[in-house]
Amino acid sequence: MVDIHSHLLPGLDDGVKTFDESAEIIERFIALGYRKLITTPHVISDSYRNTSEGILAKRDELIDYLKTKNITIEIEAAAEYYLDEAFAKNIEQGNPVLTFGDNFLLFETNFMTEPLNLKEFIFMASTKGYKLVLAHPERYIFLQHDFEKLEDLINRGVYFQLNTSSLTGYYSKEAQRTAQKLIERGWVHFMGSDCHMQQHVTLLQQVQTNRYYQKALTLPLLNNTL
């Protein structure tokens, strides 16, 4: 199993704060059967101004720290980019960004309202060769139960990454219902933990027997191609 969305690089965002905390969480991922973690710090121009160089340097520090603890798992790093003007401009100008796998680019948007430039951004980034992965589509108020809009995004080439914890109702009942319907329609391309803390790994443990989670595992998920 490969997780493609987490916040396990200490001190870079609202995720873990120390290498010890990161190591403890990673050991729990290993116990759940994960063989690789692609951790994805937030990149937001007005708050988490992480750079590719800084993220990769912190990844290397984490790998070295895990070795001192005899913890063996493959660690990669990409980023979770917030769709704001600065990020769209970076893509337009061809500035390098962190991707994973076959040029997959993880991004998120405003939770309440659809960004005015969303469709324009999708077209522009796609023409530059990026395969866009929308983080946790089930959590966006403007997408919940609007399945015409969700289908339109898929038709535009956007991949969907579902938060596994959404199936527990952790974020909201609406997010849970939308997650269930996305699975029923087969509109899930990646599963992700979005792990920030110990509680999120506990939710991963709890969801193992959830019938929608089990159904999601029968979909042609791209996680294990990475």
* Rounded to 5°, angle at Cα 53 from 51 and 54: 65
Reading the block at residue 131, the tokens are: 């395969």
CB 10 within 8 A of CB 42: no
The per-residue DSSP string of 45-80 comes to: TTS----HHHHHHHHHHHHHHHHHTT---EEEE--E
- Residues 124-172 have pLDDT tens digits of 999 999 999 999 999 999 999 899 999 999 999 999 999 999 999 999 9
The one-letter amino acid at 127: T
3-state secondary structure of 140: coil
* Positive or negative torsion for Cα 221, 66, 23, 12: negative
pLDDT of residue 141: 97
pLDDT of residue 168: 97
pLDDT of residue 224: 87
CB 75 within 8 A of CB 66: yes
**Which residue ranges in the chain fall short of pLDDT 70?**
none
pLDDT of residue 12: 97
Could you state, in order of their start, the residue ranges of all structural domains in the chain?
2-225
pLDDT of residue 170: 96
pLDDT of residue 225: 95
Buried b (16+ CB within 10 A) or exposed e, 8-38: bbbebbebbeebeebbebbebbeeeebebbb
pLDDT of residue 145: 83
pTM exceeds 0.85: yes
Closest CA to 40 of 91, 101, 85: 101
Please say whether the structural domain 2-225 has been given the CATH code 1.10.490.20: no
